[in-house]
């Protein structure tokens, strides 16, 4: 694959990560290997467990204590599922590669180069939804998904494991990191693997899994319609699907801003991102809609109003903060909430914004995301804890992510980061955390 990052000088998001200037050559670490191995085994099992809870036992969504016998209920891959997944990946790759869209430059790499990315995600999203709607209209998509959803889960799992292996074998990473076999496989060894202009990370991060999430949600909505007795989905289902499809559409409408996220800037492409994008996102983020297929309860008006308000406020915080940082990095002189921006200038000449949203907490954008996550779970009611898996997992993810980012920025900016932290003491929730 085209070499897209220099062997040294890349600022990592994980302090002490392989091949970083701070860390020098990677240190052998049994602990890292063990954690990576545990993740490789435990995370797919967790997805299967959630899958069995929501799709088996009359779709009750009840939790159960798994036994060895439950392994037998894991769906096996099929040729039909492989065909469906292959067609989906090929379709997405074609849209990614050939749909028109403006070219933009990514954030500077350690050697000063900037990669170019074509932004055509929104049109790919719209075309994909229309194509699936057409297939659904003919009955094809519904029948295929109904029969093949379980086998698809296993097929995509196998594909993700195989692709991560190829990335390890053929990636241009630090050779030393191959000594950390499981860790290198898990975290990846190359920052931006590319063939020509086809950027594997940007593609996987946004296209097949994220659009797949929206498509599966719409499928579950259609599956619920015959269950309600009045041929239409419940308000709870409409809320969950509308919120999440809007989130995905908004992601693509703001596609350029993805280029400044941690995943694109700092994470190498390994199992964690590949599997996360292809398996975790479409099969666990759809838990709520999947659960609602057989749970057709009605919601009181006050609950609907409260949930919509929570989602709207969460969105304002999330999008407002992310857009503000993006604009600030592009045009540091522009006014923030009508006033000149307050900043900390680092020795590396990076600017940290300390006013506006970013003066309230150092990751206020995570708070907005968490509010929306809760709004996506509440429509499911309180009969089962299963639909709340998303917000619980997301809380843990974002607390961990904030700590990783904090450590990485501390390692990178040193005393300047400490000064920023003194000025903005709250991590995610102002006056609370």
Residue ranges in contact with ligand NDP by CB under 6 A: 261-262, 318, 322, 325, 350, 352-353, 358, 363, 365-366, 369, 401, 405, 409
Shortest reach from residue 170's CB to ligand NDP, in Å: 27
Rounded to 5 degrees, φ, ψ at 411 are -65, -35
Q: Is 54 exposed, middle or buried (0-12, 13-18, 19+ CB in 10 A)?
A: buried
d(CA 391, CA 240): 13
Say how many Å lie between the first and final Cα of the chain, rounded: 43
Residue corresponding to tokens 């996987």: 204
Shortest reach from residue 431's CB to ligand NDP, in Å: 18
Residue 107 DSSP SS3? coil
Shortest reach from residue 198's CB to ligand NDP, in Å: 23
Shortest reach from residue 322's CB to ligand NDP, in Å: 5
Cβ closest to ligand NDP, residue 262 vs residue 309: 262
Cβ closest to ligand NDP, residue 239 vs residue 364: 364
Cβ closest to ligand NDP, residue 57 vs residue 400: 400
Shortest reach from residue 426's CB to ligand NDP, in Å: 12
d(CA 123, CA 61): 35
Cβ closest to ligand NDP, residue 160 vs residue 353: 353
CA–CA distances in Å: residue 126 to residues 132, 134, 289: 10, 12, 20
Shortest reach from residue 320's CB to ligand NDP, in Å: 10
Cβ closest to ligand NDP, residue 303 vs residue 421: 421
Half-sphere exposure of 328 (CA within 13 A, CB side): 25
According to DSSP, the residues that pair with 359 across neighbouring strands are none
Cβ closest to ligand NDP, residue 343 vs residue 378: 343
Cβ closest to ligand NDP, residue 60 vs residue 261: 261
**Residue 276 has what DSSP assignment?**
I
142-167 in b/e burial notation, b at 16+ Cβ within 10 A? eebbeebbbbbbbbbbebbbebbeeb
CA–CA distances in Å: residue 154 to residues 144, 150, 211, 314: 15, 7, 19, 34
Shortest reach from residue 215's CB to ligand NDP, in Å: 17
Cβ closest to ligand NDP, residue 223 vs residue 346: 346
Residue positions counted in the chain = 433
Shortest reach from residue 251's CB to ligand NDP, in Å: 8
């Amino acid at each position: 694959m085209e070499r897209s990052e220099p062997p040294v000088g890349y600022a990592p998001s994980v302090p002490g990560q392989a091949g970083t200037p701070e860390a020098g050559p990677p240190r052998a670490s049994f602990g890292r290997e063990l954690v990576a191995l545990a993740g490789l085994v435990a995370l797919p099992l967790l997805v299967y467990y959630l899958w069995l809870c929501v799709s088996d036992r009359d779709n009750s969504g009840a939790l159960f204590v798994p036994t060895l016998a439950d392994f037998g209920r894991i769906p096996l891959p099929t040729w039909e599922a492989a065909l469906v997944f292959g067609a989906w990946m090929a379709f997405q790759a074609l849209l990614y590669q050939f749909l028109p869209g403006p070219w933009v430059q990514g954030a500077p790499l350690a050697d000063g180069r900037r990669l170019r990315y074509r932004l055509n995600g929104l049109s790919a999203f719209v075309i994909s939804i229309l194509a699936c709607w057409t297939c659904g209209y003919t009955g094809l998509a519904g029948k295929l998904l109904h029969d093949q959803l379980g086998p698809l889960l296993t097929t995509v799992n196998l594909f993700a494991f195989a692709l991560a292996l190829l990335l390890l074998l053929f990636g241009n990473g630090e050779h030393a990191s191959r000594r950390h076999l499981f860790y290198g496989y898990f975290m990846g060894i190359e920052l931006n693997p590319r063939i020509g202009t086809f950027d594997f990370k940007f593609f996987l991060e946004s296209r097949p899994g994220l659009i797949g999430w929206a498509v599966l949600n719409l499928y579950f909505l259609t599956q619920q319609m015959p269950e309600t007795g009045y041929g239409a989905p419940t308000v709870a289902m409409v809320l969950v699907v509308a919120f999440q499809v809007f989130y995905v559409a908004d992601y693509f409408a703001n596609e350029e801003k993805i280029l400044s996220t941690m995943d694109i800037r700092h994470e190498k492409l390994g199992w964690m991102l590949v599997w996360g994008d292809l398996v975790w996102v479409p099969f666990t983020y759809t838990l709520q809609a999947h659960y609602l297929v057989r749970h057709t309860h009605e919601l009181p008006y006050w609950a609907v109003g409260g949930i919509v308000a929570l989602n709207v406020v969460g969105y304002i915080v999330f999008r407002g903060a992310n857009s503000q940082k993006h604009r600030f990095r592009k045009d540091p002189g522009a006014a923030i909430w009508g006033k000149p921006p307050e900043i900390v200038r680092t020795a590396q000449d990076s600017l940290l914004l300390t006013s506006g949203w970013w003066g309230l907490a150092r990751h206020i954008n995570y708070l907005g995301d968490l509010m929306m996550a809760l709004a996506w779970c509440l429509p499911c009611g309180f009969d089962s804890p299963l639909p709340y898996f998303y917000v619980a997992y997301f809380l843990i993810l974002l607390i961990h992510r904030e700590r990783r980012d904090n450590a990485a920025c501390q390692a990178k900016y040193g005393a300047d980061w400490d000064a920023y932290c003194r000025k903005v003491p709250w991590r995610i929730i102002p006056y609370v955390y």
